Copies of this chain bind each other. A is one copy, B any other.
Amino acid sequence: MQQRLVEMANSTSIIMEKASQAFLTSDVAKADEAIALADTNEEKALALDELVIRILAQQSPVARDLRVLVSALRISASLERMGALAGHIAAIARYRFPGSAVPDSLRKTFEEMGALDAKLAKKVAGVLSNTDVDQARAIQAEDERVDELHRSVFDIVLAPSWKENAMFTVDVTLASRYFERFADHVVDISAKVSYLTTGEWNETE
C-alpha cells in the first residue's frame, strides 16, 4: 500500500510537470498528456481505497495499523485532488490555445510555482517512502514560498500597472489558486506522515 502511495505521489509530480509546461508554453500535446494521467491517477486512488477497505475487512487492524490505514485513505484523496488540480491547469492551457494563458509579467512567477509544486510532490513521495520527519518539515517551509508566490500574483494583478484583459485575469487567478491548493495537499500529506511517525502535529499553519 505504501508503495502505491509513493507511486501515486511520483505520478502527481509528473502530471504537474507536464501541466506547467503546457500552461507556460501553450503545448496542447503536453496538456492532453497531463489530463490523461490525471484520469489514471483518479483510478489509482479508487483502487487504493478498495484495497484499504479489503484490508480493514480481512485483518480488522487496531491501534497504529488502523490509523495508518485511515491516513492512507486521506492521503489517497489528497493525491487524487493534486492530479485533478494539475489537470485543471493543463485544461486552462488547452482552452486558450493557440493563445497563451500566461502574460509575460507573470511568466517567472508561474515558472517558479510549477517547478516548486513538481518538486514538492517528488519530496512527498520520498516522505511517504521513508517517513523522514525532517523532510516533512522542509516541505512545510517550502509551501510558504508557494503561498508567497500566490499572493504575489494578486499583487501584480491588482497593481495599476496591470493592463491585461479580463480573460488573463481570470486564467491567472484560477491557475494560481490551483498551484497553491496543490502545495496545500502536499503539506497535508507530510503533516499526516509526521503525525503517524512522531505522534505530534508539526503542521505550521
A residues sitting closer than 8 Å to B (CB atoms) are 49, 52-53, 56-57, 60, 62-63, 66-67, 70, 73-74, 77, 154, 157-158, 162, 166-167, 169-170, 173-174, 177
Contacts and interface: CB of A to CB of B under 8 A. Distances in A.
B57 A70 contact: no
B53 A57 contact: no
Contacts of A162: 166
Q: Main SS of chain A's interface residues?
A: helix
B70 A62 contact: no
A166 B157 contact: yes
Nearest to A159: B166
Taking each of A70, A154, A166, which has the highest tally of chain B beta carbons within 10 Å of its own beta carbon? A166
